[in-house]
Amino acid sequence: MEPGAAAEGVVVLEGPEFHHCVRVSRVRPGDVVKLLDGRGCTYEARMRRIGAREAWLDVISCRKEHEPPLVDIALGIIKAPRFDLAVEKCTELGVRRLIPFASERSVWRGGSAEAGRALARMRRKMVASCKQSGQPFFPGIDAPVDFEALVERLGSYTAVFLAEQHPPEGSSEHVSDAGNGPVLGIVGPEGGLTPGERAGLVAGGAVPVSLGPFRLRGETAAICLAYRLMACPRAHTGTGVEIGGRVS
């Protein structure tokens, strides 16, 4: 549901959310459901009434979850079905933000119109993944950026890690020293980063890390790197807090 939709203890669903609840999930009056607002609140609500295009639910309780770890993933643009898989699984893992970027070996060379359609598709995938998994925070998904814009953003992170199959000797095999601030994981496109692009990221502070001895597809590498960063000790944020009993 949309943030702020629970007003005075009542949630009104319309549009796609109404369709999903009533037509797809077949919720009926008296049924109790779980709703997400995408900002960390999960609601338990009972269906009161179903109209032609709207449904009214009474909120029973609300639980506010702790903020997710400050982990962002930048993924070089790959073919749509594989990128969609990365969006889906990184969303389920709980990453804060996904940043698609174009590089020399990216398969996408579209313009602003195509970028807008791709962004809308990814956002739909993200919302569907949150519904399926119960992930209470909707991650941000940026419009595709060029490689130079990605490099410029590195300084805003406490630590940056670059996924590689065979990082040079002496590179970090661990991400436990990522610190307590925002962390960025970077995965290249299907053809990999060029030597110049890799050198630019390392010069900007990116630390190469290995994801194992085998060559991984871009979407697989993004999922594995996201998990490694999310599993760091500094990433644990505890459990949620009940902030409401019966709402009248």
- Identity of the highest mean pLDDT range in 101-105, 147-151, 215-219: 147-151
Integer CA distances (angstroms), 34 to 93, 135, 199, 204, in order: 19, 11, 47, 43
Residue 3: pLDDT over 60: no
DSSP state of 134: T
Q: State pLDDT tens for residues 16-69.
A: 889 989 998 899 999 999 998 888 888 999 999 999 999 999 999 998 888 878
Q: 3-state SS string over 169-226? A: CCCCCCCCCCCCCCEEEEECCCCCCCHHHHHHHHHCCEEEEECCCCCCCHHHHHHHHH
Token pair in block for residue 127? 């919302």
| Architecture field, domain 71-235 | 3-Layer(aba) Sandwich (3.40)
pLDDT of amino acid 237: 43
Sorting pLDDT into bands at 50, 70 and 90, what band is 246?
A: very low
CB 116 within 8 A of CB 144: no
pLDDT of amino acid 1: 60
Q: Is 71 helix (H, G, I), strand (E, B) or coil?
A: strand
Q: List Cβ neighbours of 36 (8 Å cut-off, separation of 6 or more).
A: 1, 42, 43, 130, 131, 134, 135, 136, 138
Select from 120, 62, 134 the least CA-distant residue to 91. Answer: 134
CB 37 within 8 A of CB 43: yes
Global confidence as pTM:
0.78
Integer CA distances (angstroms), 92 to 85, 87, 96, 133, 225, in order: 11, 9, 11, 6, 14
User: Which amino acid belongs to residue 68?
Assistant: P
Q: What is the mean pLDDT of residues 7-15?
A: 85
Integer CA distances (angstroms), 84 to 79, 108, 115, in order: 9, 14, 14
Give the CATH number of domain 6-64; options: 3.30.420.40, 2.40.240.20, 2.60.40.10, 2.40.50.140: 2.40.240.20
User: What residue segments make up the domains of the chain, in order of their start?
Assistant: 6-64, 71-235
CA–CA dist 232, 69 (Å, integer): 10
CA–CA dist 245, 248 (Å, integer): 9
